[in-house]
Amino acid sequence: MHKIYFATGNPNKLREAKNILGEVGYEVEQLDCEYPELQADDLETISAYGARWCADRLDRDVMVDDSGIFIETLNGFPGPYSRYVEDHLGNRKVLKLMEGETNRRAVFSTVVGFCRPGGEPRTFTGEVVGTISFEERGTHGFGYDPIFLYEGRTFGELDDFKKNRISHRGNAMRKFAQWLELDPR
């Protein structure tokens, strides 16, 4: 089994990465590397910066993950600021912002950044299109999962196995794993 080092302080992301990449033959080990989060308008730039910063500081190959939910009627908000909005407002206030809105389309996106020391970062994007529910539903997942509807169920209503098969993070990590197979070094 190949080992992937994942710089994250989020135990939920770590659990999902272990499940997703474990299915395709990779062991995921968490690295304690708090990197400065670049403030940018797109996840690719943020993820690439984090991967390069960690790879160069730790002198090893590193994967990072930056995710966001982009709500169409809110002009893509909270997007790359999703974590900040989650920490300071939470799902209930996001739902409050959506009151009276008929366009509830949203895109959940994850960008996996990977870099080798001294190298150029690579990014792998995964997305899933859904809608914002009218209320929180489900006890699974984390973050925006209880308000993100996909085919009639929120991610919060899906267990990890079902969610990982269709999720933004699952899609991004599978792309990353496919690339690793072609460039394993």
52 closest CA partner among 124, 115, 6, 4 = 115
CA max distance for the chain: 52
9 closest CA partner among 1, 86, 17 = 17
Active site (catalytic) residues:
66
